[in-house]
Amino acid sequence: MFGKKKQVTTANVVPGAAAPTATPAKEKVKKVKPLTPREIMAAQIDKLEGTQVATYKLPPDRGGWMVIVSLNPTYPTKGRKFIMTIDRMPGGVAGKEKSVLWDSNNAKDMAVWITDRQGQPAS
């Protein structure tokens, strides 16, 4: 009753007949979760190689900064894997206000910080 597996009983067994079997259990279908914007951004950051950078733009109410995530060139020997820098970039040109914000070994940490501030990929 109520979700119990069907038991095979010997009371209904006919001599010489094939062995009785229980009905097969229903297979559970795994639902695929859609990726969140954070997971997508973290995957993009994780795929960075060599001198590639991922650039994101913060909205004007968050300062209008450009956020640049890159690999740390000295990572295996010194420091952490990813470096996040911010820059004003007036007119899309790199400015003099570029500064290192922080670094991390986890791409998800970077993605969380950017999405919490409504950052969008810069095109």
pLDDT digits (tens, 9 = 90+) for 40-90: 989 998 998 888 888 898 888 888 888 889 898 888 888 888 999 988 766
Q: What is the pTM of this model?
A: 0.66
CA–CA distance, 115 with 99 (Å, rounded to integer): 20
The answer to whether residues 69 and 102 touch, using CB atoms and an 8 Å cutoff, is no
The DSSP code sequence of 41-92 is HHHHHHT--TT-EEEEE--GGGT-PEEEEEE-TTTTTSS-SEEEEEE--GGG
The structural domain count of the chain equals 1
Does pLDDT of 17 surpass 60?
A: yes
In a domain, 117, yes or no: yes
In a domain, 95, yes or no: yes
In a domain, 26, yes or no: no
In a domain, 5, yes or no: no
In a domain, 19, yes or no: no
Q: Which domain holds residue 65?
A: 51-121
Maximum Cα–Cα distance across the chain: 91
Instruction: Please indicate whether residue 88 or residue 36 has the higher confidence score (pLDDT).
Output: 36
